[in-house]
């Protein structure tokens, strides 16, 4: 099983879903490292020391660290889209149109 370490900016909803799926995820909050302005290099060192792959949405800074020193337990570098709800609505709408459903007209 892969061991994961979620950086403090990583969405807790994703952590919960990963756990539901059986992943071993330790958060920076649980490790006592949150809200302490821990430098990124120390975050990565902590994850590496504990044999955990880092989960983060701070991809550019950690990619820079990886390029400088690729000897770590792994990184999953993500991005966060602030319009997740809008994308979900667009996806639902397009699926409904594909199935032949048309939205009702509410004109009075």
| Gap between the Cα atoms of 3 and 52, Å rounded | 5
Percent of the chain with pLDDT over 70: 74
What are the tokens at 3? 């061991």
At 4, is the secondary structure helix, strand, or coil?
strand
What are the tokens at 98? 């594909």
Tell me the per-residue pLDDT of 41-74, one tens digit each, with 9 for 90 and over: 999 999 999 999 999 999 899 999 999 999 999 9
| Gap between the Cα atoms of 2 and 52, Å rounded | 7
Q: What is the pTM of this model?
A: 0.74
């Amino acid at each position: 099983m892969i061991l994961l370490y979620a950086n403090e900016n990583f969405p807790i909803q994703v952590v919960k879903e990963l756990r539901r799926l059986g992943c071993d995820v330790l958060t920076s909050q649980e490790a006592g490292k949150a809200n302490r302005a821990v430098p990124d290099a120390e975050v990565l060192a902590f994850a590496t020391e504990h044999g955990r792959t880092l989960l983060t949405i701070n991809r550019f800074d950690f990619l820079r660290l990886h390029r400088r020193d690729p000897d770590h337990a792994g990184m999953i570098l993500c991005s966060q889209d602030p319009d997740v709800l809008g994308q979900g609505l667009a996806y639902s709408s397009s699926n409904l149109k594909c199935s032949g459903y048309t939205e009702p007209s509410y004109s009075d």
